[in-house]
Amino acid sequence: MRIKIQQSRLADFAFGDTSMSYLWTIIRLYVGYVWLMAGWSKIWSPVWVGPQAGTALNGFLNGALSKTSGLHPEVTSWYAYFIEHFALNHTVLLSYLVAYGEVAVGVALIVGLLVGVSSFFGIFMNFNFLLAGTASINPQLVILQFLLILAWRTAGYIGADRFVLPRLFRKKK
């Protein structure tokens, strides 16, 4: 037997009502701008993309490894293992992925294209930065992107999702 559980009116309003899309657009534009600027600066930096690609990431990852000791390490042992045995062996590839991934998430959020998916990949990058021992703005971005995921149906309503989502979820005749 199939039972449909209704969500609360507050949740329905906050995450499913297009009148809230104005708030979600402001949040989406802010988060998108942060990602775009972070990635844009990396794309034009030769230590991220170009002849010295991987240099900056190598320094970042080695800095993370230095935070694995002490009574309360900032970087857990399993993530240190990942850094040491995978990430440090692929710094050039990961450097390009980080730089272009940040730009892609930023552009997608700014234009409102697949906001839920874009926010997921933003959170994925934020969690990797957090696991590497860098707090910075990452916790705030995780919270905002999590809210954008919850509001995926309306967060891009003032944007490309208004046209893309109906085509993606069109019922077949």
Q: What is the DSSP string of the chain?
A: ---PPPPPHHHHHHHH-GGGHHHHHHHHHHHHHHHHHHHHHHHT-TTTSSTTTTHHHHHHHHHHHTTS-SSS-SS-HHHHHHHHHTGGGGHHHHHHHHHHHHHHHHHHHHHTSSHHHHHHHHHHHHHHHHHTT--TTHHHHHHHHHHHHHTHHHHTSSSTHHHHHHHHTPPP-
Please state, rounded to an integer, the average pLDDT across all residues of the chain.
Answer: 95
Query: What pLDDT does 1 receive?
Result: 87
Lowest mean pLDDT among 8-12, 28-32, 143-147, 158-162: 8-12
Alpha-carbon span 111 to 92, nearest angstrom: 29
At 86 the pLDDT is: 97
Percent of the chain predicted with pLDDT > 90: 85
- Tell me: pLDDT of 173 over 70: no
Residue 156: pLDDT band with limits 50, 70, 90: very high
Q: What average pLDDT does range 6-24 have in this prediction?
A: 91
Whether 103 has a pLDDT exceeding 70, the answer reads: yes
Q: Which of 143, 144, 57, 39 is nearest to 94 (CA)?
A: 57
Summarize the confidence of residues 17-22 as an average pLDDT.
94
pTM for the model stands at 0.91
**Digit-coded pLDDT (tens) for 66-102:** 999 888 999 999 999 999 999 999 999 999 999 999 9
